[in-house]
Amino acid sequence: MNLETLWKEGKQGIFQLESLLEHLERSSEISPDSRKEVEEKLRILTQIITSSQTLLERTIENKELWRIRISEMNSKFFSLQNSINSLFAKYQEQQQEKKERDELFESIRLRRNQEIEINVGTLLSNEDKSLTRSEQKVENIFQVGSGILEKLAEQKDRLKNSYKKVSLISGSLGIARNTLDWIRDRNISDRRIVIGGMIITLLIFWLLWKYWIRR
C-alpha cells in the first residue's frame, strides 16, 4: 500500500469521524454502540497515520509534500481525538451527576416515607390515648350517674317510709284530714321529682351514648 492510498483512506476516515462527532454532539445520549464505532475509527486512523509515517521515511519523491500532508492529517486526527475524549468525559460526568442526583432524590423520598410512617404511628398512638381518656371520662360519668340513681332510689324509699309513719301517727293522734292530704300531695310531688330526676339522668346517659361514645 502506497502513501497515496493511505492518505486517501486517512482523509475519508477523518471525514467520517468528524461527521460522527458532530452527530454525537447533537445527541443527548451516547450509546455503547456509538462509542464502540468511534473507538474503532480512531484505531483505524491511528494505524493509517503510523503506516504513512513509516512509508514516508522510505519515500524519495515528493517527500516534503507527503510530510506536509501526513502532518496535516496527523494534526486533524489529534484534534478530533481530543474533542472526542472531551465529549466522552463530559458525558461521563453528566451520567455520574445524574446517578448521584437520582440517588439523592431516592434517599430523600425514603426518608420522607419513613417520617410519614413515624408521624402516622404517633398520630395513631395519640388517638388511642385520647380515646382511652374519653372512655375513662365516660366511665366516670356513668359511675356518678349510677350513684345519683342510687341516692334517688334511697330517697324514694325514705319518703315512702316517712309517709307510712306519718299515716300511722296521724291515725293514732287524730290529725285533721286536710293535713294528711297535704302530706300525701307532698309525697306525690316528691315522688314526681324523683321520677323526673331519674328520667333526666337516663336521658343524659342516652345522649352521651349517642353523640360521644358512638363517635
Number of domains in the chain: 2
- Same domain membership, residue 94 and residue 13: yes
Q: Domain boundary at 42, 73, 99, which?
A: 99
Do 149 and 196 touch, CB atoms closer than 8 A? Answer: no
Return the CATH number at 92.
Answer: 1.20.58
Q: DSSP letter at 28?
A: S
Domain assignment present for residue 113? The answer is no
- Same domain membership, residue 92 and residue 15: yes
pLDDT at 176: 54
| Single-letter residue type at 172 | S
**pLDDT, tens digit (0-9, with 9 covering 90-100), for 156-181:** 677 677 667 666 665 655 555 666 67
Cell readout for 123 is 398520630
**pLDDT, tens digit (0-9, with 9 covering 90-100), for 58-114:** 776 788 888 888 889 989 998 988 998 888 888 888 888 888 888 888 888 888 888
Q: Domain boundary at 74, 99, 124, which?
A: 99
- Same domain membership, residue 187 and residue 139: yes
Domain containing residue 194: 133-213
The mean per-residue pLDDT over the stretch 47-53 comes to 88
Domain assignment present for residue 150? The answer is yes
Cβ-based neighbours of 8, under 8 Å, separated by 6 or more: none
Query: How far is Cα 5 from Cα 40, in angstroms, rounded to an integer?
Result: 20
Q: DSSP letter at 214?
A: -
